[in-house]
Structure 1
Amino acid sequence: MGAQQVADRFAELYGAGPEGVWAAPGRVNLIGEHTDYNDGFVMPFALPHQAVAAVSRRTDGVLRLHSADIGDSVAELRVDDLAPGGDHDWTAYPAGVVWALREAGHAITGADVHLASTVPTGAGLSSSAALEVVIALALDDLYGLGLRRWQLARLCQRAENVYVGAPTGIMDQTASACCEAGHALFLDTRDLSQRQIPFDLAAGGLRLLVVDTQVKHAHSGGEYGKRRAGCEKGAALLGVDALRDIPYDGLDAALARLGDEEIVPLVRHVVTENERVERTVALLRAGDPRAIGPVLTEGHASLRDDFRISCPELDLVVDTALAGGALGARMTGGGFGGSAIVLAEATDVETLTKAVEEAFAAAGFTAPRVFEAVPSAGARRLA
């Protein structure tokens, strides 16, 4: 979806061209799942798939929203009336950002917005974060707010947590706002410190495939919230602020102190997943990307067996890919559907893709969508 195409549609809808066009990408998380709300480490990178927004300011307190992907009608809201729990459709995401900015003291007096997105929805690739970040960046530019990228990410997270009601961590919004092309983002979610880690798989003859299982998930559903509550309970039982504070070499002792058997596997996953992120960073910095394959596979086993958020389709992708010679594979995203990633030699991509498609057909599953994940640029102004 090109900037000019989005701008032209904006003009058709609102009678004049936009003040600008912005884009914000979806993301794939390479490693570090369900660690972000535990103050831990994550390692996402941005996809070429993005949400694009044409936006102009208004001074009358009206917020008009249109999506090329939803329907023909323009939603009209008043910024003074925005409140958590009031919107139950896609407009909650952009409206939530406006609400969060105003709650933070920024005088947003309205906007006309036209959106178009190529980020698959419900695939665990952060389509909602892309939508939030592109709106936040546009309004920051237009209203001259001077916010830094990590501040925009925080406001977008607040919009999703409080306004939309989805208990997501900070990773998705930070990835969309801050990632750089050709790199993965090593993010400490406690202090939001970042390091851009070179991640050029093509130069090493490798590819990373995303397999969208077409099984939709919803973060505002109960299971995600249950896992988060379980992690918070584990931290409280262990007397720490967050599970991030349990050292990897102290894990066995910490688990022995837990009296709740339901909490043990959740704690084990988070602590070992943080260690897997650090191991992946070390391997990539050492110039050994092939060696991260087994780390990815370990991560899937932990998400499947300890965190219990996989599903038959995700497991089938991983098992089929590994049997076909992939270097590593795991589910990515919040779980209960969505996507898996497969690290493979470039020469094996066609064979692996065919094997996964045939396995899904044999199991009677909906055909998956398979595409290459290329580490891409974060949010930016297009025009």
Structure 2
Amino acid sequence: MLYFCLNTQYSKIKGRYKMFQRKQQAISRFQQIFGSLPALGCSVPGRVELCGNHTDHQHGCVIAAAIDLGMLAVARKTDDFFVSIHSEQSGSLQVDLRCLQPQTQEAGSSAGLVRGVAAWLAQAGIPIGGFQAYITSEIPIGSGLSSSAAFEVLIAALFNRFYAADTLSPQTLAFAAQHAENVYFGKPSGMMDQLTCATGGICAIDFALETQPQVRSLYFDCADYGYQLFIVNTHSSHAHLTDAYASIPREMTSVAQALGKSHLRECDPAQFYANLPILRQELEDRPLLRAHHFFTENDRVHRMASIIDRGDFTAFLQLLRQSGASSFQYLQNVFLSSAPEHQALSLALAYSEHLLQGEGAVRVHGGGFAGTILAIVPNPLRERYALEMDTLFGKGSAIPLQFYPHGIYKEF
């Protein structure tokens, strides 16, 4: 145990030094691009989902965690209404905030996210204005680690520091970020990603009250038990998946409405199972399977939070496996039924189970259909596991991660 504690402390020191280097490089790049020094720096982490796959949009519960890969901005306030951003990963953009209506050509773009965040804040009566920013990210795009949510929250945090005297809560900034993603970017989603990125740490989140989600902090570290957390990026494309993602909340909501409610969280599971024959006359089978996933997954979140509280890592791994199996069988978000020839996630899961031989745990990660799986690997297997995944999906596909205690963080 002493080794793992020392290893965790070493990782923290190494992480702080790495951030110092990133800040210095970002300040230098800002000065080169904009001709002056930035006034402030801010960072936001990516996130992983541990349990609660596609439950947030039905007002359910989730467990998610911030990670040690994040996004850093250095920025300076301007005296106009133009937001100018340069990113090494995404290039340059400029958004004129004198127009806050959604722009058709900005759907699916970073510019749409900036405009959407600003629009939500303005609608809430919060002052907005221009700024210049240089942004650099460690979060691989399309890796399922919420690079878009981190970007949205980072933009909201910059508005907060420049124009709201840093008075807005992480939850408020997460609402602004979710609005931008739903309305301006065009991706239907719950608020798990944004709230976890904004809050940091390991979060048990209950979305029963849509306007006031309840967040409870949990504490554990895979390293303390001799395991390594990985995300494996299969590099399968998220293009053209919006309809597939949208089908999940749409079908779950159709079941809730058939039971006389707006969301599945409001429904009695016993009533659902008692009425299955009647529901099947009205609905197709897949919505019913997805509702079954919701009810069992929501219960799993509560049990997992209790297990983490008492430090039962073996039981935690068992529930993680169950959550992944439910996503595969009932939620059915591992591959597209319309394209069964493309099953990178299925292959990653199958080969991971072969390598782990009943040890650790593996599951689909995030929205699904493409992208990433999550694996918790015993330390004696971690080097071989990373090598095998990199061989199968390309160098750098197996990404080791650690949980990260901070959400929105003032770097200076």
Q: Same fold (TM over 0.5)?
A: yes
Partner of 1:317: 348
Distance 2:153 2:351 in 1: 35
Distance 2:208 2:241 in 1: 23
Partner of 2:408: 379
Amino acid aligned to 1:149: P
Cα shift readout 1:121-174 (whole Å, capped 9, x = no counterpart)? 111110000001111112211211511111111111011111111111100000
2:196 to 175, 180, 202: 175
Gaps of at least 5 residues in structure 2 are 1-18, 336-342
Deviation at 1:248, TM superposition (A): 5.0
Is the 1:167–1:219 Cα contact (8 Å) retained in structure 2? no
* Percent identity for Structure 1 against Structure 2: 29
Distance 2:76 2:204 in 1: 34
Partner of 1:288: 312
Is the 1:51–1:117 Cα contact (8 Å) retained in structure 2? yes
Q: Secondary structure at the match of 1:91?
A: helix
Deviation at 1:66, TM superposition (A): 1.5
Q: 1:175 to 1:221 in 2, by over 3 A?
A: same
Deviation at 1:357, TM superposition (A): 4.0
Partner of 2:63: 43
Is the 2:389–2:397 Cα contact (8 Å) retained in structure 1? no
Cα shift readout 1:58-92 (whole Å, capped 9, x = no counterpart)? 22222212211123xx4333111232134143222
Q: Does residue 1:189 correspond to 2:220, yes or no? A: no
2:111 to 91, 103, 106: 91
Deviation at 1:340, TM superposition (A): 0.7
Deviation at 1:14, TM superposition (A): 1.4
Q: 1:322 to 1:294 in 2, by over 3 A?
A: farther
Distance 2:309 2:271 in 1: 26
Is the 2:389–2:398 Cα contact (8 Å) retained in structure 1? no
2:74 to 48, 54, 63: 54
Deviation at 1:344, TM superposition (A): 2.2
Distance 2:26 2:155 in 1: 14
Q: Secondary structure at the match of 1:120?
A: coil
Amino acid aligned to 1:369: S
Distance 2:294 2:217 in 1: 22
Distance 1:249 1:211 in 2: 37
Is the 1:24–1:130 Cα contact (8 Å) retained in structure 2? yes
Q: Secondary structure at the match of 1:295?
A: helix
Q: 1:43 to 1:200 in 2, by over 3 A?
A: same
Q: 1:39 to 1:343 in 2, by over 3 A?
A: same
Q: 1:355 to 1:294 in 2, by over 3 A?
A: farther
Q: Secondary structure at the match of 2:204?
A: strand
Partner of 1:301: 325
Count of matched residue pairs: 373
Partner of 1:350: 383
Q: Secondary structure at the match of 1:262?
A: helix
2:178 to 145, 157, 182: 157
Is the 2:241–2:369 Cα contact (8 Å) retained in structure 1? no
Distance 1:136 1:241 in 2: 29
TM normalised by structure 2 equals: 0.85
Pairing 1:269-284 to 2, within 5 Å after superposition: 269-284=293-308
Q: Does residue 1:81 correspond to 2:99, yes or no? A: yes
Amino acid aligned to 2:367: G
Amino acid aligned to 1:370: A
Partner of 2:187: 166
Deviation at 1:294, TM superposition (A): 2.4
Q: 1:223 to 1:242 in 2, by over 3 A?
A: same
Cα shift readout 1:177-226 (whole Å, capped 9, x = no counterpart)? 0022xxx2100122311111112111111222111111132587211111
Distance 2:73 2:365 in 1: 26
Cα RMSD (Å): 2.0
Is the 1:186–1:194 Cα contact (8 Å) retained in structure 2? yes
Q: Secondary structure at the match of 1:80?
A: coil
Distance 1:30 1:196 in 2: 14
Q: Does residue 1:211 correspond to 2:229, yes or no? A: no
Is the 1:246–1:254 Cα contact (8 Å) retained in structure 2? no
Deviation at 1:256, TM superposition (A): 4.1
Deviation at 1:104, TM superposition (A): 1.9
Distance 1:77 1:281 in 2: 42
Q: 1:254 to 1:84 in 2, by over 3 A?
A: farther
Distance 1:367 1:173 in 2: 29
Amino acid aligned to 1:331: V
Gaps of at least 5 residues in structure 1 are none
Q: Secondary structure at the match of 2:205?
A: strand
Distance 1:7 1:367 in 2: 30
Partner of 2:254: 233
Deviation at 1:250, TM superposition (A): 5.3
Which shows bigger deviation, 151-160 or 208-217? 208-217
Q: 1:126 to 1:267 in 2, by over 3 A?
A: same
Amino acid aligned to 2:93: A
TM normalised by structure 1 equals: 0.91
Deviation at 1:301, TM superposition (A): 2.1
